[in-house]
């Protein structure tokens, strides 16, 4: 469980980095689509979030089925193995919908322990 807690803390930090990027670069999809540095910054964070999720115990992931763990790991795989194939609009949806929800779940996991 200690390793899961460390991973959850790392996931939260990457979620917060995405939030900070959105504050810095803009909260609009057009800002995101027009800025390769914005895209690269957030892609890296989602890659790292997915990598950390893969290391979480299956017990922890199974306790929280409300989170699309598999989808986030899949997004990581797309970023890591085929960057030129990334659907930027799908990435934006991940950033604006799935990442905030993931941060909430991770916060509740920390509150449980």
Could you report the per-residue pLDDT of 55-74, keeping only the tens digit for each?
999 999 999 999 999 999 99
pLDDT per position as a tens digit, 11-39: 999 999 999 999 999 999 999 999 999 99
Residues contacting 99, CB < 8 A, separation 6+ = 15, 18, 19, 46, 49
Single out the catalytic residue among 9, 61, 81, 84. Answer: 81
Contact 88, 107 (CB under 8 A): no
Single out the catalytic residue among 9, 24, 37, 76. Answer: 76
Domains in the chain: boundaries: 2-112
In this predicted structure, what is the pLDDT of residue 82?
A: 76
What does DSSP assign to residue 34? T
Q: Does position 83 have pLDDT exceeding 70, yes or no?
A: no
Q: Does position 86 have pLDDT exceeding 90, yes or no?
A: no
The yes-or-no answer on residue 76 being catalytic is: yes
């Amino acid at each position: 469980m200690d390793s899961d807690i460390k991973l959850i803390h790392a996931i939260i930090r990457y979620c917060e980095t995405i939030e900070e990027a959105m504050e810095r670069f803009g909260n609009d999809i057009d800002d995101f689509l027009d800025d390769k540095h914005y895209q690269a910054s957030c892609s890296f964070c989602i890659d790292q979030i997915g990598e950390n999720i893969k290391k979480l115990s299956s017990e922890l992931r199974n306790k929280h089925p409300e989170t699309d763990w598999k989808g986030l790991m899949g997004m990581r795989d797309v970023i890591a193995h085929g960057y030129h194939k990334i659907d930027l609009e799908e990435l934006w949806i991940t950033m604006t919908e799935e990442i905030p929800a993931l941060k909430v779940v991770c916060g509740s996991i920390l509150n449980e322990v």
